[in-house]
Amino acid sequence: MARFLLIVFIVLCFLSSFITVNTQRTRRSSNGSATKQLRFDKKKGEFKILQVADMHYADGRKTPCEDVLPNQLFHCSDLNTSVFINRMIKAEKPDLIVFTGDNIYGFDATDAASSMNAAFAPAISSNIPWAAVLGNHDQESTLSRAGVMKHIVTMKNTLSQLNPEGIEIIDGFGNYNLEVHGAEGTSSMNKSILNLYFLDSGDYSTVSSIPGYGWIKPSQQFWFQETSRKLQKTSKAPGLAYFHIPLPEYARFDKSNFTGVRQEGISSASVNSGFFTTLVETGDVKGVFTGHDHLNDFCGKLSGIHLCYGGGFGYHAYGKAGWSRRARVVVVSLGKDENVKSIRTWKRLDDQKLTTIDEQVLWRRSSSGSRRKKPPVVNP
């Protein structure tokens, strides 16, 4: 009997270990389907992200375009936004597509779920993993802010999450992080060498004495700090952050210190929640990517962090007639040691040639970073 119980115990331990290992290896999305681990491309040693900012999708063919040339107006609709996404996917072949809010334009979307299904359809049909955060207009149709995010996380191929697992109290909906591991079969295949952070920057202020847009709250900043700290314990991987509303620090730039254009004011919150300081203190985030201000597409460096706009993407969003809709691409490249060597970006215009503009290096690992400093020479 004792021998039988011992055998049962050993079998149960083995099964427990097997279940634990396989749970760690295969994540499950909210709709129950298995999701692939994000990885760097083994041949190219790269990971490419396509940012889609401010689609403002509504009712498809029925939805007219805004701020386009007179000869475009008759045949232009939400479908032009879908065509642009498909063109970008075909041209760039990204490893991840990130939608940075105002994915649908709530006031004009008859049904929020249907509008989202159509808006994200190109990403879904491409079978490329995608992630989304909320803007300030997503909840203005038939679903609440929570309802919009709950719908998104059930969609095919999405890596979006409602909120972090194990965190009971956190402001907003759609605060989560994704790890990008090394290529299959490499020494870094089981560790994150690029960390991606997604946050809900809110919609509008809920404090009566503070007008304007929302901001990233202390509970979100605490989650970000703890997540960054845990990740940096095992790997000094760089990070990128994506959310909708720009930080007040975006207003610190002028024409002399950014790449791109600034054609409208910075529509940040009217209060500074200190999240930029938090980003600087944690030290791993090298680039922040937002939307919200459609006529700004610049990217500038402040305190070691690049603050970047995606540029207006959607055709049912306000824009500027004759100024092409655009998308931002970020490429993260590895060195021979399988750690991130550089982070580059550029934009593509929705013109006949999908013209590439404003290529720049956001971050490059210092070649002296791993070398020991020589001790100072002391004269006798």
**Which percentage of the chain shows pLDDT scores above 70?**
87
Give the predicted TM-score (pTM) of the model. Answer: 0.89
Query: Average pLDDT, stretch 81-96?
Result: 98
Q: Confidence class of residue 373 from pLDDT cuts 50, 70 and 90?
A: very low
Convert 87-114 to b/e letters by CB count within 10 Å (16 or more is b): ebbeebebbbbbbbbbbbbbebbeebbe
Q: Is 310 helix (H, G, I), strand (E, B) or coil?
A: coil
Contact 130, 123 (CB under 8 A): yes
Residue 156 DSSP symbol = T
pLDDT, tens digit, for every residue of 267-325?
A: 999 999 999 999 999 999 999 999 999 999 999 999 999 999 999 999 999 999 999 99
Dihedral angle at the C-alpha atoms of 318, 323, 325, 329, nearest 10 degrees?
-130
Strand-by-strand arrangement of the 96-100 sheet:
130-133, 96-100, 46-52, 326-334, 340-349, 356-364
Look at residue 374 in the predicted model and tell me its pLDDT: 44
Cα separation, 365 vs 342, in Å, equals 6
Cα separation, 230 vs 225, in Å, equals 9
**Is pLDDT at 348 greater than 80 in this prediction?**
yes
Tell me phi and psi for residue 340, to 5 degrees. -65, 130
Q: Strand pairing of 356-364 and 340-349?
A: antiparallel
Cα separation, 347 vs 39, in Å, equals 23
> Which alpha helices (DSSP H) does 99-250 contain, by range?
112-119, 121-126, 145-152, 218-234
Domain residue spans in the chain? 29-364
Half-sphere exposure of 304 (CA within 13 A, CB side): 13
pLDDT, tens digit, for every residue of 109-165?
A: 999 999 999 999 999 999 999 999 999 999 999 999 999 999 999 999 999 999 998
pLDDT, tens digit, for every residue of 3-34?
A: 544 444 443 443 333 333 333 334 444 444 44
**Is pLDDT at 227 greater than 80 in this prediction?**
yes
Contact 248, 272 (CB under 8 A): yes
CATH architecture of the domain covering 29-364: 4-Layer Sandwich (3.60)
Look at residue 66 in the predicted model and tell me its pLDDT: 97
